[in-house]
Chains A and B, each alone.
Chain A
Amino acid sequence: MTVLAESEPIAPNSTDAAIDSANGSGTLPTQIRRSRPGPDASVSTLLSCRHHPPAWLERLVLEEIPTKDDYGLIRLDTLARFARICSTLPNWTPKPYYGVGDDATIGAEWDLGRFHVEIQVGNNPVVDSIVFEVDKGEPEELPLEGNVRILAALMSRILSD
């Protein structure tokens, strides 16, 4: 017998499992529907674990990015992935310029003196990337997958210069 993912029980407090089930099809589990942006949102749960994320992150993820998502393109799992990545940044990282692209991506960019850093997180994780530039030279691009620690280390190094 085929069992649809939406009908499978979700363990209480299993935020990651719930987010993995949120596929943007409009059939989100009750747990996710209840936790769409607001004080109890799932991304908020993610932000309160392990790391001390930058102070601007919670408001950015829960309010500011959704406000810029004019067409409702960004899925909740994408927003949560963006939050997880940014939560690894040094907590003194300044607030980025941010935006939502027509291709269902969230972008964040920092102009930090000689350095320019950008990240992109999309509904399709294949497009997740880091862009790094020194002295307005040629942008270097890396996939975000497997390189989140590099992003955090890079930012830490730039901010300590």
Chain B
Amino acid sequence: MPTDIPDEVPPNCTVYRVAKKRDIKPDGTPQSDCFSDKGRADGSAYYMSVYFSDEMQLAGRSVSDLQKVWGSEYTVLEFRASDLQEQGERLWRDPTDEFPGHGACKRADGAERSRGQKRKLAKIAKVVPGLL
């Protein structure tokens, strides 16, 4: 991770979540299924993968680049970090080699995200314009 990026995700940082286009409803809103934590091999849930705009920008990568890496069957949803935190989510940086800005999102209390909590995220998520 670049040294001039703060460990803590700033509240005004844009947070991206990659989702399958088939899980976006005809009115342009995502289904709640888009906001599940990824399971470990033993079946327990871990976290939901996200990408942070500040690191992406520093690496010279755009949200369109992010979509291209995932493929044409995917779209990208966006939030403000503060909106997720207000919903009880915790965000942290979790760099990977595949694309800059990778991070994690999980319930702040460590619990598995309930269907109602997924629904709340679905209501505040927006598809990045032009990427559907």
Which A residues are closer than 8 A to B by beta carbons? 68, 73, 97-105, 107, 109, 111, 116, 118-120, 123-124, 127, 129-131, 133, 136, 139-141
Contacts and interface: CB of A to CB of B under 8 A. Distances in A.
Nearest to A100: B33
Contacts of A68: 22
A26 B37 CA distance: 24
B114 A129 contact: yes
Residue in A102, A130, A136 whose Cβ sees the most chain B Cβ within 10 Å: A102
Contacts of B22: 68
Contact of B23 (A73, A99, A119, A130): A99
B39 A97 contact: no
Given A102-B38, A102-B39, A103-B38, A120 B115 contact: yes
B36 interface: yes
Given A118-B115, A139-B116, A107 B39 contact: no
Contacts of B115: 105, 107, 118-120, 127, 129-131, 141
Query: Interface SS of chain A: helix, strand, loop or mixed?
Result: strand
Interface residues of B, number: 25
Given A107-B32, A129-B114, A139 B37 contact: no
Interface string B32-58: 111111110001010010000000000
Given A107-B118, A119-B115, 19 more contacts: A68-B22, A73-B39, A99-B32, A99-B33, A100-B33, A101-B35, A101-B36, A102-B36, A102-B38, A102-B39, A103-B36, A103-B39, A103-B45, A105-B33, A107-B115, A120-B115, A129-B116, A130-B115, A131-B116
Given A101-B36, A102-B38, A133 B119 contact: yes
Contacts of A133: 119
Interface in B87-132: 112-116, 118-120, 123
Contacts of A118: 32, 115, 119
Contacts of A103: 36-39, 45, 112-113
B67 to A, nearest CB: 18
B43 A123 contact: yes
B31 A107 contact: yes
A37 to B, nearest CB: 19
A94 B117 CA distance: 24
Contact of A107 (B33, B37, B45, B112): B33
A1 to B, nearest CB: 29
Residue in B36, B39, B113, B123 whose Cβ sees the most chain A Cβ within 10 Å: B36
B36 to A, nearest CB: 3
B36 A97 contact: no
A68 B36 CA distance: 14
A104 B39 contact: yes
